[in-house]
Chains A and B, each alone.
Chain A
Amino acid sequence: KQEVTQIPAALSVPEGENLVLNCSFTDSAIYNLQWFRQDPGKGLTSLLLIQSSQREQTSGRLNASLDKSSGRSTLYIAASQPGDSATYLCAVINNAGNMLTFGGGTRLMVKP
Chain B
Amino acid sequence: DTEVTQTPKHLVMGMTNKKSLKCEQHMGHRAMYWYKQKAKKPPELMFVYSYEKLSINESVPSRFSPECPNSSLLNLHLHALQPEDSALYLCASSRQGSSGRRATGELFFGEGSRLTVL
List the interface of chain A (C-beta within 8 A of B).
31-32, 34, 36, 41-46, 49, 51, 89, 91, 93, 97-100, 102-105
State which of B13-21, B41-49, B60-68, B77-85 sits at the interface with chain A: B41-49
- Which A residues lie within 8 Å of B108 (CB)? 46
Select B43's contact among A32, A44, A97, A98, beta carbons within 8 Å: A44
- Which B residues lie within 8 Å of A89 (CB)? 42-43
Tell me whether A97 and B112 are in contact (CB under 8 A).
no
List the interface of chain B (C-beta within 8 A of A).
4, 6, 31, 41-43, 45, 48, 50, 55-56, 88, 90, 92, 94, 97, 102-112, 114
- Which A residues lie within 8 Å of B109 (CB)? 36, 43-46
How distant is B69 from chain A, measured CB to nearest CB, in Å? 20
Expressed in whole angstroms, the Cα–Cα distance for A45 and B41 within the complex equals 16
Tell me whether A97 and B97 are in contact (CB under 8 A).
yes
What are 14 sample pairs from A and B whose C-beta atoms fall under 8 A apart?
A34-B107, A42-B112, A43-B4, A43-B110, A44-B92, A45-B109, A46-B109, A49-B106, A89-B42, A89-B43, A91-B107, A93-B106, A97-B104, A98-B48
Given contacts A91-B107, A100-B45, 18 further A-B contacts (CB under 8 A): A34-B105, A41-B88, A43-B6, A43-B90, A43-B110, A44-B90, A44-B109, A46-B106, A93-B105, A97-B102, A97-B103, A97-B104, A98-B50, A98-B94, A100-B107, A102-B42, A102-B43, A105-B42
Expressed in whole angstroms, the Cα–Cα distance for A85 and B114 within the complex equals 22
- Which A residues lie within 8 Å of B112 (CB)? 41-43
Expressed in whole angstroms, the Cα–Cα distance for A43 and B3 within the complex equals 11
Known: A43-B112, A103-B42. A98 touches B107 (CB 8 A): no
Select A32's contact among B31, B104, B110, beta carbons within 8 Å: B104
Tell me whether B104 and A104 are in contact (CB under 8 A).
no
Tell me whether A42 and B111 are in contact (CB under 8 A).
yes
How distant is B78 from chain A, measured CB to nearest CB, in Å? 19
How distant is B34 from chain A, measured CB to nearest CB, in Å? 13
Known: A43-B90, A98-B31, A102-B43. A32 touches B106 (CB 8 A): yes
How distant is A37 from chain B, measured CB to nearest CB, in Å? 11
